[in-house]
Amino acid sequence: MTELPDLPVLAASAEPDECQLVQALRRGEEPAFAQLVRLHGRQLLATARRLLNNEEDARDCLQEVFLIAFRAIEKFEAKCRLTTWLHRIIVNTALMKLRSRRSRPECSIDDLVPRFTEDGHHLEPPCPWSDHATRSLQAAESHRLLRRAIEQLPESYREVVLLRDIEGLSTEATGQFLAITANAVKIRLHRARQALRTLLDRHLEDLT
């Protein structure tokens, strides 16, 4: 497993109950393992589903995360909460799973960001989105549309959108997970959003 990013600690120290749970896990007590899964599994499964957008992959990911956590519990330091520690593990595991997926046809980012004339004007002026397109984007079907668009992004851009916009991580935390600077996160996110706008534009046009 890659080294986990040093994210901001959410709480100053582990709760007393959490300390007892960690000690029981370290002693290898079976009920403690079940308790950990039931206590944190729901939130982690939701994260895996958001990042992987595939139920089977999300369940595999959750299983992998708990096995990693059970093995690494000796290394868990009470300076952060179990929630924070497990969240780092699931984001890393989901990223690795995303990277190992059979590569799908991706669009080139250069074909999706706006192009300009030499004097800086839009080469292909954008068209306003119709009322119908706007309603589609606000409706339940927008999730499917948007997911399809995100999956068409090149991997390095897709990861930034997933971590920043879908998972809601900070610029700094996203940079740590992806081993890039905060500035690189900002640049990639902006280009990814421009590309998504273009892809949505095309998908919404198909609907009208």
- Residue ranges binding another protein (CB under 8 A): 28, 30, 33-34, 37-38, 41-43, 45-47, 49-50, 59, 62-63, 66-67, 70-71, 114, 116, 119-122, 125-129, 134, 137, 142-143, 146-147, 161, 165-168, 186, 189-190, 193-194, 196-197, 200-201
Residue with Cβ nearer another protein (79 or 106): 106
Q: Could you tell me which of 156, 154, 161, 162 has the C-alpha nearest to residue 190?
A: 161
**Smallest distance, another protein to C-beta of residue 67, A:** 6
Tokens representing residue 187 in the block: 């640049």
Q: Could you tell me which of 73, 83, 75 has the C-alpha nearest to residue 26?
A: 73
- Write the CA distances from 204 to 2, 20, 106, 140, 146, integer angstroms: 39, 53, 19, 14, 10
Q: Please give the Cα distance from 111 to 107 (Å, whole number).
A: 7
Residue with Cβ nearer another protein (16 or 39): 39
Residue with Cβ nearer another protein (24 or 37): 37
Residue with Cβ nearer another protein (16 or 91): 91
**Smallest distance, another protein to C-beta of residue 66, A:** 5
The answer to whether residues 196 and 145 touch, using CB atoms and an 8 Å cutoff, is: no
**Smallest distance, another protein to C-beta of residue 146, A:** 5
